[in-house]
Amino acid sequence: MKKLMNKVDDAVVESLAGMCAAHRDLIRLLPEYKTVIRADAPNAKVAVISGGGSGHEPLHCGCVGFGMLDAACAGEIFTSPTPEQICEAARSTDGGKGILLIVKNYTGDVINFQMAADILRAEGRETEQVIINDDVAVKDSTWTAGRRGVAGTFLVEKIVGAAAEDGGSLGGLKELAERINANVRTMGVALTSCTAPAVGKPTFDLSDDEMELGIGIHGEPGRERVKKMTSRETIEYLANAVLDDLPFDEGDEVLAFVNGMGGTPLGELYIACGDLKKVLDGRGIITARSLVGNYVTSLDMQGCSVTLLKLDALSRTLWDYPVQTPALRWGR
Amino acid sequence: MKKLMNKVDDAVVESLAGMCAAHRDLIRLLPEYKTVIRADAPNAKVAVISGGGSGHEPLHCGCVGFGMLDAACAGEIFTSPTPEQICEAARSTDGGKGILLIVKNYTGDVINFQMAADILRAEGRETEQVIINDDVAVKDSTWTAGRRGVAGTFLVEKIVGAAAEDGGSLGGLKELAERINANVRTMGVALTSCTAPAVGKPTFDLSDDEMELGIGIHGEPGRERVKKMTSRETIEYLANAVLDDLPFDEGDEVLAFVNGMGGTPLGELYIACGDLKKVLDGRGIITARSLVGNYVTSLDMQGCSVTLLKLDALSRTLWDYPVQTPALRWGR
């Protein structure tokens, strides 16, 4: 295993410290809580908070800033943050308008965010949660009851964060988050395994001529292992699985998101994006917005995921809303 | 070799087409010339044009848009674009105020851009060139007389592009580009080799316990091959080589740029960024601006480079100037 790291045990907090040093105009670190908060927190708005295991950067801590999250807490690699971290993230950014927790559907995260919500409510803080489960690949999985939360989470955080910035109420934001989650679907593919630093060897074995379709973002098994396919074949498989699930219909407007798993170069992701556009055109789906890049990663895994979000006028406007975070910046 | 690709021969143009499909508000493709131009070209300003071998995405084609390049042409992987491509890029964006070509110092690029400049001048188009050679690692190299042009090129394109947007004259922009080039230094490290698609196997062999210090962005040899080091040791080596070269002095303000080589996840780049900040603090250098991410890549290579640019009031303002490209967006 070769990684740009010092001590493995320090990797998460050192990475967060580096991120905050690079973006000190936007964010700051609560190092003892491995939590990143907006530099201008708290604000007189609903505090939108997320978090999860590390190894998916820039999700979640890179999503903190104007128009997206107010705080995010980082667990160890592929491990949920603790209720204590989540509570501190909320306390540090609570502007008195309520707290919305955005949680990816993994058992550890669900339990710890639920405990945090209970504690925060006991402190008199109005708190709601939404569970994201956009991965169509498998029903239950290694670490999940029900579907996994994957790259769609990034879109939920952007859109709900914009609505919060725009003065949305806690109830309205929870409803919006649930609606976005209901309209977003994802499926991914691994070309190689990731290597967790504490383990030091690949999470799973994959031969030189194989791919894992429906891979989880921690390297959990997907739907099937197949012989290496072209980009076009791979993207058709993923896109069709996603399209048929919601289902998406002819004439629908979508945000098309090709997400890299961390080790795949941008040039390849753009090839995949072109192939996705062809599938969508062929089905009469309108690609109203696109996002291509490494946003919800799995350490150094090679591969990508395809996410489609059915847009309406509101979600499109909120997607376009100004945002200033390490991961996404535009419009202000 | 596993890559998200269809036919290897189509990879470059398919990748460009995917990029242009994802960013059709900003850019469009001249497919027969593998050239990306601004969607609103030509503009009544100096046309700033670059290009080079593919495999370094988002450089150069992802740098086209408001506040950066007017056009960029893509050669095959690690191969210079032809004079014909460069001329067409210039003709398609020439707004009558002159053409500035930004060229990385590789023999093939230098020859082809020079030929293009001669042709463009013969057509009556005022044309200037600047050669970027920021890599301190080696004097001459496999494909270079003198120093190589690497990640510093991205900073030159941003700053000169801003000045062009702001109405700079051809002579003024050429002088500015030369001044930025004179104040920027880079050195990189490879943890793994890249794999060029047409070759199908790693460009060079590197054992599991080795790193190549001073690597070139095509996998050319660097200064020395060493046993695996920590991020801190690696970044100290790179940063000290860079700092001592210009040299940078106590009290200097810099833009600190940690650039990923394509296969290194963002979480690790932020660890490197934190380590770089410590070196700079220790030398009394002021980190006025930071940039961290995969901007000048080498296909799927794991590793990073450290670039420092000495800032003055003008270059800092131009760095902050609004930009709207696939690679960089802010401020408008």
For residue B74, the distance in angstroms to the closest alpha carbon of chain A comes to: 12
**Domains identified in chain B, total number:** 2
Give the torsion sign (CA, A190, A326, B36, B304): negative
β-bridge pairing A184-190 and A210-213: antiparallel
Whether B212 and B231 map to the same domain: the answer is: yes
3-state SS class at B10? helix
Is the Cβ of A230 closer than 8 Å to some Cβ of chain B? yes
Given a cut of 90, whether residue A332 has pLDDT beyond it is: no
DSSP type of residue A265: -
pLDDT average, residue stretch A149-169: 98
Q: Return d(Cα B58, Cα B259) in angstroms, integer.
A: 12
pLDDT computed for residue B331 by the predictor: 84
Whether B203 and B175 map to the same domain: the answer is: no
Looking at the domain assignment, is residue A211 inside a domain? yes
Whether A168 and A35 map to the same domain: the answer is: yes
Whether B72 and B47 map to the same domain: the answer is: yes
The pair of three-digit structure tokens given for residue B299, joined into one six-digit string: 């296909």
pLDDT computed for residue B332 by the predictor: 61
pLDDT tens-place string over residues B146-192 = 999 999 999 999 999 999 999 999 999 999 999 999 999 999 999 99
The pair of three-digit structure tokens given for residue A106, joined into one six-digit string: 């993994």
Selecting from A19, A262, A271 the residue whose C-beta is nearest the C-beta of B265 gives A262
Looking at the domain assignment, is residue B36 inside a domain? yes
pLDDT tens-place string over residues A55-91 = 999 999 999 999 999 999 999 999 999 999 999 999 9
Cβ(A93)–Cβ(A70) under 8 Å? yes
Is the Cβ of A72 closer than 8 Å to some Cβ of chain B? no
CATH number at residue B124: 3.40.50.10440
Cβ(A232)–Cβ(A266) under 8 Å? no
User: With contacts defined as CB-CB under 8 Å, which chain A residues touch B271?
Assistant: 4-6, 11, 14-15, 18
Tell which of B183, B201, B221 closes a domain. B183
Looking at the domain assignment, is residue B332 inside a domain? no
Whether B109 and B171 map to the same domain: the answer is: yes
DSSP codes of every residue in A302-315: -EEEEEEEE--HHH
Q: How confident is the model at residue A331 (pLDDT cuts 50, 70, 90)?
A: confident
pLDDT tens-place string over residues A203-248 = 999 999 999 999 999 999 999 999 999 999 999 999 999 999 999 9
Is the Cβ of B34 closer than 8 Å to some Cβ of chain A? no
pLDDT computed for residue A222 by the predictor: 92
pLDDT computed for residue B196 by the predictor: 94
Looking at the domain assignment, is residue A71 inside a domain? yes
Tell which of A150, A183, A216 closes a domain. A183
Tell which of A162, A183, A204 closes a domain. A183
Looking at the domain assignment, is residue A319 inside a domain? no
Looking at the domain assignment, is residue A28 inside a domain? yes
Picking from A1, A3, A4 by the largest number of B CB atoms within 10 A of its own CB, the best residue to mutate is A4
Whether B189 and B263 map to the same domain: the answer is: yes
Q: Could you tell me the residue range of the domain that residue A253 belongs to?
A: 184-312
Q: Which of residues 198-217 of A touch B (CB under 8 A)?
A: 208, 211
Looking at the domain assignment, is residue A1 inside a domain? no
Q: Return d(Cα A307, Cα B192) in angstroms, integer.
A: 30
Its ipTM equals 0.97
pLDDT computed for residue A140 by the predictor: 76
Q: Return d(Cα B326, Cα B21) in angstroms, integer.
A: 11
Looking at the domain assignment, is residue A73 inside a domain? yes
Q: Return d(Cα A249, Cα A283) in angstroms, integer.
A: 8
Q: Letter for the amino acid at B25?
A: D
DSSP codes of every residue in B184-230: EEEEEEESS--B-TTT-SBSS---TTEEEET--TTS---SEEEE---
Whether A32 and A105 map to the same domain: the answer is: yes
pLDDT computed for residue B141 by the predictor: 73
Q: Return d(Cα B128, Cα B228) in angstroms, integer.
A: 43
Alpha carbon separation from B38 to A238, A320, B25, B136 (Å, rounded): 32, 21, 9, 33
Whether B116 and B214 map to the same domain: the answer is: no
Whether B306 and B191 map to the same domain: the answer is: yes
Mean pLDDT of chain A: 97
Which stretches of chain B drop beneath a pLDDT of 70? 332
Is the Cβ of B282 closer than 8 Å to some Cβ of chain A? no
Whether B208 and B74 map to the same domain: the answer is: no
CATH number at residue A291: 3.30.1180.20
Given a cut of 80, whether residue A144 has pLDDT beyond it is: no
